[in-house]
Structure 1
Amino acid sequence: MSTKDYLEKDYYKVLGVSKTATQDEIKQAYRKLARANHPDANTADPKAEERFKEISEAYSVLSDEQRRKEYDEARSLFGGAYQPGGGTGPGGFDMGDLFGHGPTGGGVGGERLSDLFGGLFGGRGRTSTRSRRGADVETETTLTFSEAARGATRSFKLTSDAACASCKGTGARAGSAPRMCPTCSGTGHDSTILGGFSLSEPCSQCKGRGLVVDDPCPVCNGSGRGKSTRTVQTRIPAGVSDGQRIRIKGKGAPGEHGGPAGDLYVVVHVQPHPVFGKTGDNLTITVPVTFPEAALGADVRVPTLNGMPVTVKIPPGTPNGRTFRVRGKGADRRDGTKGDLLVTVEVSVPKTLSEDARAALEKFRAATADQDPRRDLETRAKGM
């Protein structure tokens, strides 16, 4: 990205957030926009891909605290003093020197400002105009509850920018090669002298590439870029939760001119289970028990996820809603250990009773008539 483009772009506006937005607000805005503008979901809209690239570029800067700080400082430093095509620099600085393209190559505090820009876009100094980090790519996948608990491998078909397959990214027709730009001597920049100031712009002949293509590739029209459809296989780690966003480093769009590839982000959706739930690394289950089992105690057989059932000992006088912990029967953790299984008992009340059962309960009620669980309820309700 050229200095001019960098100073003019408002990444906050791209994501629709304020300059004081939190990281969570930035993340939520990005997810919403990325999903709405993903090329795979907008095949009839040719501009969707460009919008998606711009959104990903903005998020790659603002989601990183250090890069966001550098971006804010750079825009604050120049403010409205930068005028495309001409103008003066703040405080009488030589703009070419600040960007590292002037005769002295100096900068603020002895550091080239182009190094600041290079840090934002994956390079350092002058090389940042010749190489670019690939865009981040986001996709989604759905796992069953069991797959999420133990981990799963998924394949994703991704479409992104890549080097043109015909010219291998050179932009030149097969059998020919690009040459160094004679205007900028391969730097990719033109310096315009305006009185006592120098302004650096992308070279008008090579458009910042530093190379000139005399016989352009007929497939990419000399751009060196094309479309790449590839299948990426990745492992979703065990223990992921519904809505969790997984980052797979270096699996995004390929970089340009030797720049590193972007990252792949996978938003995971987990289907609910009819029996089990999840709290952190622990699995949960509600087990119905009869009143005699809760009152007298019992050994209750409890299923586990992807394993043999376990026996949980219910002690006499167990109240409704009590939770028991079974060690090591929960979800897999990343370190190879397992969480626990939390078993909550629920006293089941029968809807219909046989004559014998009713008679037995009537006898039980008579035998426990002096045990009133609500005896002091009204007194406690009055605060006495």
Structure 2
Amino acid sequence: MSKRDYYEILSVSRDVDAKGLKSSYRKLAMKYHPDQNPGDAEAEEKFKEVGEAYAVLSDEDKRAAYDRYGHSAFENGMGGGGGNPFGAGANPEDIFQDLFSQVFGAGGFGGGRRRSGPQRGADLRYDLEITLAEAYAGKDETIHVPQSVNCKTCDGSGAAEGTSPETCNTCGGLGRVRAQQGFFTMERACPHCGGKGKTIKKPCKDCGGAGQVREERKLSVKIPAGVESGMRIRLAGEGEAGEHGGGRGDLYIFIDVVEHDIFERDGPNLYCRAPVPMATAALGGEIEIPTIDGGRARVVV
């Protein structure tokens, strides 16, 4: 069965430059990637096809040989490839990892790799409403925040008392496994340990092996005087618990100052709309107005 033209496979013209070639390969590789099309044999075959085409056309010498001799350049040992379009000594895994690390970052295809080492906990957000009077004077506030904390029974290990997590036999503790996909070697999270690198034979009875439980924590927060809506207060180390010995995340408290019935705020200034008797307005005098702290004050009109 005759092979398709490599330029046709990558949907590029014969005078395409290296940048255009790489761009087209990325789009097609993402489209036909086995992780994007599980169980689709046709997509897997096309993924191999675009990989082979790119391996040839991205190499100046192989591309020159292909332009001159076509597919026969890689038959019977021509072109130094010994029949392999990747060439003698070429490592298809290196080609794959190099290209996909540029597209998806250091973690490769499918997002960042899960690390089996310490992982910092997630940050949390808490929205807090306060009155204008509280914003003026400041206050000490007690809040209750539902969050994940390390299980006290197993000290966050997830293993039952008297036992401990064991190194995963499938991945050897790396949290990742490799599988052959045609010319390429794919790397993904270990299906046995879920990318953690550890397995738990006997899970903790309280956390079910998760190493963490949900609970409502009671925290004291000092609201400084003069805060405005939209301001945030950071409580370091009061966020979600970390994993595998990692530190806690942070808690961010976002302030929302409720509008006042009488007073209106404009930056550091307060405005109060007060009724004035007709006689006082005409002849002058004093009126009494409320203050933000609950007192009274007299103002000359």
- Structure 1 residues 1-384: aligned runs within 5 Å: 79-84=30-35, 87=44, 88=47, 92=51, 107-108=98-99, 113-115=104-106, 128=115, 130-241=117-228, 244=230, 246-250=232-236, 251-266=238-253, 268=255, 270-306=257-293, 312-314=299-301
CA-based RMSD: 4.0
Deviation at 1:222, TM superposition (A): 2.5
Higher relative contact order (Cα pairs below 8 Å, separated by 6+ residues): 2
Give the direction of change, closer, same or farther, for the CA distance of 1:205–1:271 in structure 2 (3 Å limit). closer
Amino acid in the other structure paired with 1:187: L
Amino acid in the other structure paired with 1:181: C
Q: Equivalents in 2 of 1:174, 1:155: separation in Å?
A: 35
> Does structure 2 conserve the Cα–Cα contact (< 8 Å) formed by 1:151 and 1:236?
yes
Unaligned runs of 5+ in 2: 1-25, 56-92
Give the direction of change, closer, same or farther, for the CA distance of 1:135–1:225 in structure 2 (3 Å limit). same
> Does structure 2 conserve the Cα–Cα contact (< 8 Å) formed by 1:172 and 1:215?
yes
Deviation at 1:156, TM superposition (A): 1.8
> Does structure 1 conserve the Cα–Cα contact (< 8 Å) formed by 2:136 and 2:226?
yes
> Does structure 1 conserve the Cα–Cα contact (< 8 Å) formed by 2:153 and 2:161?
yes
3-state secondary structure, aligned to 1:146: helix
Can you list the C-alpha shifts for 1:258-302, whole angstroms capped at 9, x where unaligned?
A: 445344344555455453232333211123323343333335554
Can you list the C-alpha shifts for 1:207-242, whole angstroms capped at 9, x where unaligned?
A: 211112233323333232322332122223433456
Can you list the C-alpha shifts for 1:51-81, whole angstroms capped at 9, x where unaligned?
A: xxxxxxxxxxxxxxxxxxxxxxxx9897434
> Does structure 1 conserve the Cα–Cα contact (< 8 Å) formed by 2:133 and 2:293?
yes
Q: Equivalents in 2 of 1:77, 1:143: separation in Å?
A: 54
Q: Equivalents in 2 of 1:283, 1:232: separation in Å?
A: 31
Deviation at 1:112, TM superposition (A): 9.2
User: What residue in structure 2 maps to residue 320 of structure 1?
Assistant: none
> Does structure 2 conserve the Cα–Cα contact (< 8 Å) formed by 1:114 and 1:126?
no
Q: Equivalents in 1 of 2:269, 2:29: separation in Å?
A: 52
> Does structure 2 conserve the Cα–Cα contact (< 8 Å) formed by 1:136 and 1:262?
yes
Deviation at 1:197, TM superposition (A): 0.7
Aligned residues: 226
Deviation at 1:304, TM superposition (A): 3.0
Q: Equivalents in 2 of 1:255, 1:178: separation in Å?
A: 17
Give the direction of change, closer, same or farther, for the CA distance of 1:105–1:195 in structure 2 (3 Å limit). closer
Amino acid in the other structure paired with 1:220: C
3-state secondary structure, aligned to 1:148: helix
Unaligned runs of 5+ in 1: 1-74, 95-101, 315-384
Give the direction of change, closer, same or farther, for the CA distance of 1:217–1:196 in structure 2 (3 Å limit). same
User: What residue in structure 2 maps to residue 17 of structure 1?
Assistant: none
Give the direction of change, closer, same or farther, for the CA distance of 1:310–1:167 in structure 2 (3 Å limit). same
Give the direction of change, closer, same or farther, for the CA distance of 1:221–1:299 in structure 2 (3 Å limit). closer
User: What residue in structure 2 maps to residue 22 of structure 1?
Assistant: none
User: What residue in structure 2 maps to residue 330 of structure 1?
Assistant: none
TM-score if structure 2 supplies the norm length?
A: 0.58
Q: Equivalents in 2 of 1:81, 1:132: separation in Å?
A: 33
Deviation at 1:139, TM superposition (A): 3.9
Q: Equivalents in 2 of 1:199, 1:238: separation in Å?
A: 56
3-state secondary structure, aligned to 1:289: coil
Q: Equivalents in 1 of 2:219, 2:144: separation in Å?
A: 6
Amino acid in the other structure paired with 1:210: G
Amino acid in the other structure paired with 1:107: D
